[in-house]
Amino acid sequence: MEDGNLEIFKLENTEPLILKPLNESLKAGGYGSFPSAALDFPDDSIDFLKLLVKDPITTFPGRISGDSLKDIGVLDGDWCLIQKGIEAEPNDIVAAIIENQFFIKRFKPKYDENNQLQELKLKSENPDFSHFEINDETEFFLWGVVTWTFRNWRKL
C-alpha cells in the first residue's frame, strides 16, 4: 500500500485571467502542422480560467505527489484540476478516497453484457506501484475526474 498522493485546494479567485496570444502560430510538428489553438479566440485574447474551468464551484486544484502515473506523463509535483459531479469514463484519471487517503489513478471499470459494473480497478501507470482492486469491502469514494494536469518547466 502506498501513501495518499494528492493534496486538494480550493479556487479562491474566479476572476478572468486574460492573456494575449502571440501573433504567430506555434507549430509543434513539421511542415503543415495544425494552426495554433489561439486562433480559436477571435478577440485576440484568452481567458485561461474560462478555458480550464467549466464550473468554478465544482472544480478544485490539486498537487500530486508520487510517481504512480509517471508512465503517462503525470509526475511528482505536477498540479491538476479536478471536477466533481461529472461521470468518470473508462481510462479517465480520477481522484478517489481509498481507505481515507486521496489518490489519483486511471479509472478501469469492466462491464458485463448488460452494461452492469462487473469489477473496478484503479490502475497505476508505473510498474513500481500496485493497482487498487475495488470491491464491496473497500472503503472507497470516487471524488472527481482530473480534467487538466500542469507542470512547471522552469522555476522563476
Residue of 105, 121, 123, 155 with catalytic role: 105
Please state, in angstroms and as integers, the Cα–Cα distance from residue 120 to each residue in 62, 66, 81, 106, following that order.
Answer: 24, 22, 23, 11
Are β-strands 46-47 and 59-64 bridged in parallel, bridged antiparallel, or unpaired? unpaired
Query: Is 68 annotated as catalytic?
Result: yes
Please state the separation of Cα 150 from the chain's center in Å: 9
Query: Is 105 annotated as catalytic?
Result: yes
Cα three-residue angle 22-28-31, rounded to 5 degrees: 105
Determine the length of the chain. Answer: 156
Residue of 36, 50, 68, 121 with catalytic role: 68
Residues classed as catalytic:
68, 105
